[in-house]
C-alpha cells in the first residue's frame, strides 16, 4: 500500500500546485491513498466548502487540520459531509472528530490528527490523548496508523516518534511550513519533523513578506495575506506500508513551480 501525504496547503497558490501536479504523481508513484493538511487552504486561514470540494476533486482522499481548523465557521457542518478531521486533543465538545478510519487496498487504515502544546491554542495533553486512542485502535486490530502531528516544537514531534514508533506506521509533522531534512524510517515508522508547505516559497511561511517584517520591526500586528502570484513549491512524502503496517520505503517529493520533481529517499536505521 502506497500513501502520499501533503503538508500545509497555503491559499490559492498551494491549491493550484495540487491541481497541476497531484493526479500525475498519483499515477507515477502508484498511490493508493492521499492525505493533505487543509488548515491554511482558504486564503491562508481555514477551509471553505468550495475549496474543500476543489481539493478533493484534485485527487486528495481525506484531509487533516490544526490550529486554524475552525477559522472559517462554515467548516463546522462540513465534518459530517466530507472526509475531514480536526486535532484529536481539542476539547471533546469541539465539532468533528480527530480520527478517520477507512479501508485502503483491503487494509484497515486510521488517520489521526494531533496538535502540540507549544504556542498552540488550549488542548488536552497530546501524548496521553494519543496513547488512549492507539490502544483503542489496537483493540480493533487496526495496524495501519498514520498521524499528522501539527506542532510548532520539533521536540514534541521527535518525542512522539520515540514513544510510538513501534505502534504506528507514520508520523508526519505539519504547521511550521518549513520542510525539514530528516525523513527517516525508524523501527518501521515513517517520520519527518515537518513536511513543509505547498504554496508560495518566496515569502514568509507562504504569506506575503510585508506584514511579517513589519511585525518583527515594530511589534504591531496585522493580517497576513497570501500573494496572488508567487514562486511556488509542492511538497509531499510518499511511503509504502506492508500488511503489518510497517513502513518499508519512503521518499520526499518536491516540485518548484513546473520544474522536474526532486526526490530524496528516507534514511533507514
* Residues acting as catalytic residues: 68
Angle at the Cα of 31 (from 28 to 34), degrees rounded to 5? 125
C-alpha cell at 26: 498519483
Cβ contact 26:52 at 8 Å: no
Cα distance between residue 210 and residue 191, in whole Å: 33
**Phi, psi (5° rounding) for residue 18?**
-65, -45
For 78-120, give the secondary structure using H, E and C.
Answer: HHHCCCECCCCCCCCCCCCCCEEEEEECCEEEEEEEEECCCCC
Cβ contact 200:206 at 8 Å: yes
Cα distance between residue 77 and residue 121, in whole Å: 21
Helix (H) or strand (E) holding 45, with range, is none
Cα distance between residue 170 and residue 12, in whole Å: 28
Amino acid at each position: 500500500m502506497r500513501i502520499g501525504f501533503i503538508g500545509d496547503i497555503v491559499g490559492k497558490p498551494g491549491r493550484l500546485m495540487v491541481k497541476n501536479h497531484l493526479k500525475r504523481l498519483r499515477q507515477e508513484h502508484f498511490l493508493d491513498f492521499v492525505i493533505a493538511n487543509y488548515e491554511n487552504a482558504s486564503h491562508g486561514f481555514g477551509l471553505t466548502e468550495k475549496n474543500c470540494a476543489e481539493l478533493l476533486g484534485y485527487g486528495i482522499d481525506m484531509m487533516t487540520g490544526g490550529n486554524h481548523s475552525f477559522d472559517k465557521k462554515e467548516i463546522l457542518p462540513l465534518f459530517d459531509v466530507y472526509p475531514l478531521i480536526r486535532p484529536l486533543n481539542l476539547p471533546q465538545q469541539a465539532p468533528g472528530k480527530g480520527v478517520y478510519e477507512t479501508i485502503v487496498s483491503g487494509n484497515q487504515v486510521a488517520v489521526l490528527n494531533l496538535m502540540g502544546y507549544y504556542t498552540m491554542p488550549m488542548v488536552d495533553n497530546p501524548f496521553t490523548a494519543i496513547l488512549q486512542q492507539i490502544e483503542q485502535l489496537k483493540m480493533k486490530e487496526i495496524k495501519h496508523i498514520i498521524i499528522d502531528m501539527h506542532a510548532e516544537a520539533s521536540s514534541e514531534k521527535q518525542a512522539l516518534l520515540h514513544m510510538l514508533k513501534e505502534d504506528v506506521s507514520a508520523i508526519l509533522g505539519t504547521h511550521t511550513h518549513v520542510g525539514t531534512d530528516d525523513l527517516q524510517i525508524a523501527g518501521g515508522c515513517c517520520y519527518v519533523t515537518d513536511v513543509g508547505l505547498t504554496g508560495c516559497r518566496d515569502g514568509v511561511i507562504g504569506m506575503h513578506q510585508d506584514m511579517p517584517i513589519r511585525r518583527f520591526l515594530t511589534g504591531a500586528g496585522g493580517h497576513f495575506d497570501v500573494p496572488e502570484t508567487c514562486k511556488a513549491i509542492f511538497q509531499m512524502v510518499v511511503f509504502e506500508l506492508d500488511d503489518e503496517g510497517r513502513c518499508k520505503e519512503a521518499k520526499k517529493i518536491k516540485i518548484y513551480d513546473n520544474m522536474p520533481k526532486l526526490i530524496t529517499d528516507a534514511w533507514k536505521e
